[in-house]
Amino acid sequence: MSRRFDAIVIGAGQAGTPLAGRLSDAGMSVALVERHLLGGTCVNTGCKPTKTLVASAYAAHMARRAADFGVTIGGEVGIDFAKVRARADKISADSRASLRSWIDGMAHCTLFFGHATFEAPHRVRVGDEVLEANRIFLNVGGRALVPDMPGVEEVPFLTNSTILKLDAVPRHLVVVGGSYIGLEFGQMFRRFGAEVTIVEKGPRLIGREDPEISDAVRDILEAEGIAIRTGAECIRFAAQGQDVLVGVDCHEGSPEVLGSHVLLAVGRTPNTDDLGLDAAGVATDTRGYVQVDDRLRTNVAHIWAMGDCNGRGAFTHTAYNDFEIVAENLLDGADRKVTDRIPAYALYIDPPLGRVGMGEAEAKKSGHRIEVGKRPMTRVGRAVEKAESLGFMKLVTDADSGRILGGAILGTSGDEAIHGVLDLMVKQGTATDLAHAVHIHPTVSELLPTIAGERKPA
């Protein structure tokens, strides 16, 4: 016997749970299915634990720099890694508990724990239960990609999930992949006391950013003693006693790195391979991402896909925005679209990189005649006062219309201050609008109007 619902939501991630809540509030009966932990990646193995660990690493770093501020600390700064980990574990657990009480309070929502697979376009199996619904919403997220690199099966390796279970700081952490996950964990473990080597196959770190951002990030990390090997074209692994030998074959430097631990941070893959999508006729692309239209409908009219599994975003805020698009279109008569979203994100190294819209190279490539306003953080009063003046801020505008095309703040509070640019872009503001805004002193944001007024052809 199957159980009928108005809607089935598969995955209690960043879009699934709020959607279940809105549908339930609208009086619909909802089955919410989760196979592992409520909150998905962000809460359990992504944003929340990592940003908690980043905060501990920052505290250690600032404690080591105490003398710069005229503060004395009696003796060396130590790391109580068990406490560091417990803090992250608790923040994730608290978040799960709060999600559980939210879901339990939903009037028309039934929570099923188990792995969901399609049996037919309207039918989903979860263990012994068979669920049916007129509408089905996928929010199944993704997991760490483990490519078929030579030797990878023969050595123990860590992913973003398993690294959170370490009981001690690795002696030498070799991070494969020089993007978000690799750089955040790399810097954090360096600050916890590990030797760290980051191995990136591309010619530079965070290869999607403007080269000057990649270069500045590299300088920041190297200044903390992190070894960086870019252009590592032939990565391979071999066990050597308790350690792992990572072959990098770079053009210069040692051809191999011997690490006590290896973290694979080379991208993510969607959790769509074991969902029985064929039984529902839902199409995916060659990498397994569910194909959706601008309103997040799949090729099957009663099935939607939200969050990382649709390949249209890879962040918590984009997954949550997917929920807003689907819910408002369905329940409020709205017509919201993914393409209305302005790309924005932050890289949580220290100092953080806040990014919005296009970079300089991308703006040029897309045919704009551009102007750029730029300032090093050494000329941002607040950064100097805080003795955190690494990095720079940059604004990219269209020379003809004055429209803001994008911005980057690699610097203290860059993740927060970038929202001043983002909010103006949402309203299609111009550089003159920004230049005329009177920002609060002393802040990092107060220099945004200044660089908007000082922009030059680029």
Ligand X SMILES: Cc1cc2nc3c(=O)[nH]c(=O)nc-3n(C[C@H](O)[C@H](O)[C@H](O)COP(=O)(O)OP(=O)(O)OC[C@H]3O[C@@H](n4cnc5c(N)ncnc54)[C@H](O)[C@@H]3O)c2cc1C
Ligand Y SMILES: NC(=O)c1ccc[n+]([C@@H]2O[C@H](COP(=O)([O-])OP(=O)(O)OC[C@H]3O[C@@H](n4cnc5c(N)ncnc54)[C@H](O)[C@@H]3O)[C@@H](O)[C@H]2O)c1
For 284, phi then psi, to 5°, come to -120, 165
Closest CA to 191 of 60, 49, 353, 53: 60
Per-residue interface string for the shown chain with ligand Y, residues 251-280, x marking contact by CB under 6 A? --------------xxxx------------
Alpha-carbon distance of 412 to 85, in angstroms, equals 25
**Binds ligand X (CB under 6 A): choice among 23, 33, 173, 277:** 33
Q: Is 2 labelled a binding residue?
A: no
Of the pair 58, 113, the CB lying nearest ligand Y is at: 58
Q: Is 51 labelled a binding residue?
A: yes
- The answer to whether residue 176 forms part of the interface with ligand Y (CB under 6 A) is yes
- The answer to whether residue 375 forms part of the interface with ligand Y (CB under 6 A) is no
Annotated active-site residue in 61, 115, 436, 441: 441
**Binds ligand Y (CB under 6 A): choice among 181, 213, 296, 372:** 181
- The answer to whether residue 133 forms part of the interface with ligand Y (CB under 6 A) is no
Alpha-carbon distance of 446 to 417, in angstroms, equals 9
Question: 321 Cβ partners below 8 Å, 6+ apart?
Answer: 313, 341
Alpha-carbon distance of 14 to 440, in angstroms, equals 33
**Binds ligand X (CB under 6 A): choice among 84, 158, 319, 452:** 319
Give the other-Cβ count within 10 Å of 90's Cβ.
Answer: 12
Of the pair 343, 453, the CB lying nearest ligand Y is at: 343
- The answer to whether residue 10 forms part of the interface with ligand X (CB under 6 A) is yes
Closest CA to 356 of 414, 279, 443: 414
DSSP strand pairing (404-410 vs 392-398)? antiparallel
3-state secondary structure at position 110: strand
Alpha-carbon distance of 212 to 354, in angstroms, equals 14
Residues 291-310 that bind ligand X (CB under 6 A): 307-308
Residue 200 interacting partner from ligand Y, ligand X, none (CB closer than 5 to 8 Å by kind) = ligand Y
As measured in angstroms, the least distance from the Cβ of 256 to ligand X is 27
| Cis amide leading into 147 (omega within 30) | no
The helix (H) or strand (E) run that includes residue 139 is none
- The answer to whether residue 46 forms part of the interface with ligand X (CB under 6 A) is yes
**Binds ligand Y (CB under 6 A): choice among 112, 323, 345, 392:** 345
Alpha-carbon distance of 354 to 406, in angstroms, equals 11
Of the pair 178, 391, the CB lying nearest ligand Y is at: 178
- The answer to whether residue 178 forms part of the interface with ligand Y (CB under 6 A) is yes
Active site residue 441: yes
Alpha-carbon distance of 228 to 251, in angstroms, equals 13
Of the pair 99, 250, the CB lying nearest ligand X is at: 99
Question: 172 Cβ partners below 8 Å, 6+ apart?
Answer: 194, 195, 196, 197, 243, 258, 259, 260, 261
| Cis amide leading into 442 (omega within 30) | yes
Q: Is 181 labelled a binding residue?
A: yes
Stretch that binds ligand X, among 21-29, 32-40, 324-332, 385-393 (CB under 6 A): 32-40
**Binds ligand Y (CB under 6 A): choice among 79, 149, 431, 451:** 149
Residue 275 interacting partner from ligand Y, ligand X, none (CB closer than 5 to 8 Å by kind) = ligand X
Contact (Cβ atoms closer than 8 angstroms) between residue 11 and residue 139: yes
Of the pair 235, 263, the CB lying nearest ligand X is at: 263
Q: Is 446 labelled a binding residue?
A: no
Of the pair 354, 373, the CB lying nearest ligand Y is at: 354
**Binds ligand X (CB under 6 A): choice among 9, 15, 303, 448:** 15
Alpha-carbon distance of 131 to 124, in angstroms, equals 5
Give the other-Cβ count within 10 Å of 256's Cβ.
Answer: 13
As measured in angstroms, the least distance from the Cβ of 144 to ligand X is 7
Alpha-carbon distance of 152 to 64, in angstroms, equals 36
Q: How many residues in total does the chain contain?
A: 458
DSSP strand pairing (256-259 vs 392-398)? unpaired
Per-residue interface string for the shown chain with ligand X, residues 50-79, x marking contact by CB under 6 A? xx----------------------------
As measured in angstroms, the least distance from the Cβ of 150 to ligand X is 25
Residue 176 interacting partner from ligand Y, ligand X, none (CB closer than 5 to 8 Å by kind) = ligand Y
| Cis amide leading into 255 (omega within 30) | no
Of the pair 17, 179, the CB lying nearest ligand Y is at: 179
Q: What tokens does 458 get? A: 């680029």
- The answer to whether residue 147 forms part of the interface with ligand Y (CB under 6 A) is yes
Per DSSP, 289 falls in state: P
**Binds ligand Y (CB under 6 A): choice among 57, 263, 347, 410:** 347
Q: What tokens does 71 get? A: 């503060």
List residues binding ligand Y (CB under 6 A).
147, 149, 176-182, 184, 199-202, 207, 232, 235, 265-268, 314-315, 345-348
* Residue numbers belonging to the annotated binding site: 51, 177-184, 200, 267, 308
List residues binding ligand X (CB under 6 A).
10-15, 33-36, 40-42, 45-47, 50-51, 115-116, 139-141, 160, 181, 271, 275, 307-308, 314-317, 319, 348
Annotated catalytic residues are 441
